[in-house]
Amino acid sequence: MRDIAVNRIMTTDPATVGPNDPISVAKQLFESGDIHHLPVVDHGVLAGIVTSSDLLKFHLLDGDPAALSSATVHEIMEVDPVVLESGASLRDAATALSVGGYHALPVVDFNRALIGIVTTADLVTHLLQQIPLADGSNHKKTNSSTTGRISDSDISRAMRRAEQTANQEGDPGWLSRVLLHFRDRNRLLEDVRKAAELYLRSGNGEHEHSVLVKRLADLQRH
């Protein structure tokens, strides 16, 4: 597969927060749509990134709902996150995301001004379109002219094909290994989500808290 520039798959003009914004602002953005990563921008320059997992950890450690209104994004954000430069390639993004413990990479220019963000979801969507099916054909770019999303059946077929080609040499094998890595990571994320639901339903039970902390640790190690 011919490598492409990361700006072909990244999200431009992503939602952002400032370091001095209250955490409640980030929480509202996470709850308002399919957003899990927020670049933190200070005077036009990328200062960090905050994720929905950061917010969950803050809630677990602090335990005081009132803290959401007084604490700021700076207190929970990751400072100096790994970034991609505007000229980076798809392979650069795949390598960084597959070896790091994160799911999003801000894309910046030479002045470190934010120009976009690329996530594992962006990458997986593109990779799924490149994995050949059993008949040798590729996925269509979109199954819907409006959403651009790939159907669950397409994903299942592509994953089966990925398992078959993961040990091959060349780009098909590389693409497959990246896809399977992200599939495993998403399974860990689902474990975290289930553990968080149990923890909240239990009324913040001690056992459920321990399970959630373990699931978060498993995700961090992956």
Looking from the CA of 18 toward its CB, the CA atoms found within 13 Å total 6
Share of the chain above pLDDT 90, in %: 26
The closest alpha carbon to 39, from 78, 8, 97, belongs to 78
Tell me the sheet residues that pair with 48. Answer: 40, 79
66: three-class secondary structure by DSSP: coil
Q: Which two tokens stand for residue 151?
A: 């159907």
Please determine, looking at this structure, whether the domain spanning 3-119 carries the CATH number 3.10.580.10.
yes
Rounded to whole angstroms, how far apart are CA atoms 154 and 140? Answer: 10
User: What confidence score (pLDDT) does residue 145 get?
Assistant: 31
User: What confidence score (pLDDT) does residue 148 get?
Assistant: 43
Contacts 24+ apart (CB under 8 A), 168-172: 171/1, 172/1, 172/131, 172/132
**Angle (nearest 5°) at CA 23 between 109 and 199:** 115
Tell me the sheet residues that pair with 118. Answer: 105
Q: Which two tokens stand for residue 58?
A: 């803050």
- Tens of pLDDT, residue by residue over 141-187, are 443 333 344 555 656 666 666 666 665 555 555 666 666 666 776 77
Residue ranges in the chain whose pLDDT is less than 50: 1, 141-149
**C-alpha pair distances (Å), 23 with each of 17, 38, 102, 105, 196:** 9, 11, 20, 21, 19
Are 147 and 157 spatial neighbours (Cβ–Cβ below 8 Å)? no
Which H or E element spans position 37?
strand 37-42
* Beta strand spans in 53-149 (E): 78-79, 84-85, 104-108, 114-119
Are 42 and 97 spatial neighbours (Cβ–Cβ below 8 Å)? no
User: What confidence score (pLDDT) does residue 70 get?
Assistant: 79
Q: Which two tokens stand for residue 105?
A: 């990479």
Q: Which two tokens stand for residue 166?
A: 């993961």
pTM, full prediction: 0.67
